[in-house]
Amino acid sequence: MTKVRTDLTALLEQEITHLDSLISLLIREKDILVNRKFEELEDISAQKQALCALMEDSARQRIQVIGAQANAADYKTALGLYLKQLSKDEADEIESLNKTLAEKLTTCREYNTINGQVITTNIITRQEMIGALTGQSATTAPNVYTASGNIKPDSDSGHHQKA
């Protein structure tokens, strides 16, 4: 029982450390996206993938440690059964680590959502700029005036693309 508790505590602490690293990467990724330093994204992506692989492996180990102990199918049920076997202090320690893990996962999801919104905004902005430059976007393209000062009809808005 003590080995299971020690292993579980170590795995939870390890995952929390990995999540702290992932949160730092997500914050850095947002800065890169906002400042459009796209050449740095590949390195961030590789680091995120490596961390995610480590976290998945640790989560599998955690489920095996608890699942084998409690003979339960899902982690939450197995954890609940396992915690009932521990002293109050031991159970509180593991519950606290598990809660911290859940909070950090939520934080990662929030940062990931924000980064997704920044990416979407960058894509929309880039599409609007391309549309304005090519004259294909009537809503965002500036008005083109003729030599007499009249607004040029939209039917010929893309004539400069032929050149």
Burial of 101 (0-12, 13-18, 19+ CB in 10 A): buried
What is the average pLDDT value for the chain, to the nearest integer? 85
Domain-embedded: residue 162:
no
Burial of 106 (0-12, 13-18, 19+ CB in 10 A): exposed
Domain-embedded: residue 56:
yes
Instruction: State how many domains the chain has.
Output: 1
CATH of residue 38's domain is 1.20.58.300
Is the pLDDT at 61 greater than 70? The verdict is: yes
Is the pLDDT at 115 greater than 90? The verdict is: yes
Can you give the residue range of the structural domain that contains 138?
2-143
pLDDT band (50, 70, 90) for residue 18: very high
Is the pLDDT at 160 greater than 90? The verdict is: no
Tally of CB atoms within 10 A around 133 = 12
pLDDT tens-digit map of 88-97: 999 999 999 9
